[in-house]
Amino acid sequence: MTVAEPEIRRTERAAHLLILLVVAGLLLPLLLWPGVASLAWWLQADTELDLFVYDQTVPDATYLEHASLGLALEYEKVAFTTAESFVGAAPGGGPQGVWPSAAPDLVMLVDAYGVYVDDTGRVSDEGTIRITDAIKEGDAERVIEWVSAGSVVYGEFNILGEPTASPASQRLQALFGVQRTGWAGRPFDDLSMAPDRLVALAGGTWDYSGPGIVLLASAPGGTTVVVLSGDELEGALPVVEGALPGSGRDVRARVDGWFEVVAAHPEASVDMSMTLPVTESGRVFLDQYGIPSDWPFLVRTEKSLYLAADASENSIEFPLRRMSGSPVLMRVLPQAAHTEFFYRVYLPVVQWLVETAQSQEE
């Protein structure tokens, strides 16, 4: 017995050493990664890109309508300030920027809805008086000429509908390979908290509560409001899924903001689709209004890409934006719906746009 004890102790020490080596091997990369990733980002050269951003919805200095775009561009090291490369509204709705004379490498048409004031002249979400400019036919023609000259153009929800002039909208729809249906919508965590303006559009009667999805379409005779709730839904949020441009990687993400229902032209590529989480009774309900339960979400042509959602408005933090490779980590971690969409869909799309615009320039 006394002879075996040293052998046992040596075996135990060897096991303990092996455990320490394994733990160190796992922890050391994790401890070193932040510094290495930050250094790699700082050493990466700035991305030379002639960028143009259009956003008329700037009620305050947060520039919320293109907040996600700013984070994505910072990660890609693309220089962007509202003092340059920008046309739209200054905080509070005043005009800002001038259209460039030469074709930019990348054109981002983010939001054309505008800033509104109430009867007292105060900026308000419930205001009805628009004080900002709108996309006119000449603006659309300019963008089309840029595309012919080599520009890559991006668009999303809120640039094709009101207040964009109808001829301009038609030209842009042809450019992006999409067709508006007039329907738009958004999910609500609790329908009883819907804004007063939406309740008024529905006729003033509103007895909904709990999670739901509201769709609406405006016409000369008024606005039609459709509410999905209760047994009509098997999930709380619409879902987008498909393949990302460039990488072809399959992705799936929830959408918790505004979206629109569009159709795609035959010659356009539909890389991703959006689906409403409806039950059979919900699908039957939608059929009464001619609303599909799924439709194109990411529509791409040779020189353009369109996302059928208010994608650039997303008040996330992206704390690791100055660390190379961080989006790969963030994609696999559990996320809230708005951050899930940013890391899985929006950021890769912006990365593809930047790379494509750069290759066009070269």
pLDDT tens, position by position, 87-141: 999 999 999 999 999 999 999 999 999 999 999 999 998 888 999 999 999 999 9
User: Taking CA 264 as the corner, what is the angle to CA 260 and CA 266, rounded to the nearest 5 degrees?
Assistant: 175
Residue range 23-35: mean pLDDT, rounded: 57
Complete edge-to-edge strand list for the sheet that includes strand 178-188: 222-229, 212-219, 178-188, 259-264
| CB-neighbour burial class of residue 292 (10 A; exposed 0-12, middle 13-18, buried 19+) | middle
> In the prediction, which pLDDT does 52 show?
97
163 preceded by cis ω (within 30°)? yes
- Who contacts 193 (Cβ-Cβ below 8 Å, separation ≥6)? none
Percent of the chain with pLDDT over 70: 90
Q: By the 8 A CB rule, do 162 and 114 touch?
A: no
Q: Residue ranges of the domains in the chain?
A: 42-181+257-274+294-361
**Contact by Cβ (8 Å): 188, 202:** no
In this prediction, residue 37 carries a pLDDT of 80
> What is the per-residue pLDDT for 6?
65
Tens of pLDDT, residue by residue over 134-150, are: 999 999 999 999 999 99
pLDDT average, residue stretch 45-68: 93
Q: Is the pLDDT of residue 25 over 60?
A: no
pLDDT at 4: 57
Please, what CATH class does the domain formed by 42-181+257-274+294-361 belong to? alpha beta
Q: Are 308 and 156 in contact (CB under 8 A)?
A: yes
Return the pLDDT at 317: 84
Report the mean per-residue pLDDT for the chain.
Answer: 90
pLDDT digit string, tens, across residues 315-360 = 788 888 888 888 888 888 888 999 999 999 999 999 999 999 998 7
- With H, G, I as helix, E, B as strand and everything else as coil, classify residue 295: strand
SS3 334: coil
Report DSSP letters for 152-168, one per residue: EEEEETTSSSTTS-HHH
Q: What is the reported pLDDT for 10? A: 65
Taking only the tens place, the pLDDT of each residue in 283-305 is 999 999 999 999 999 999 999 99
**Distance between alpha carbon 303 and the CA centroid of its chain, in Å?**
19
Burial 61-96 (b: 16+ CB within 10 A, else e): eebbbbbbbbbbbebbbbebebeebbbbbbeebeeb
Q: Model pTM?
A: 0.89
Compute the chain's Rg from CA coordinates. Answer: 25
Which pLDDT score, from 0 to 100, does residue 197 have?
Answer: 87
pLDDT of residue 19: 63
Q: Which tokens sit at 272?
A: 């991703």
pLDDT in tens, 70-92: 999 999 999 999 888 899 999 99
- Section 252-277 average pLDDT: 97
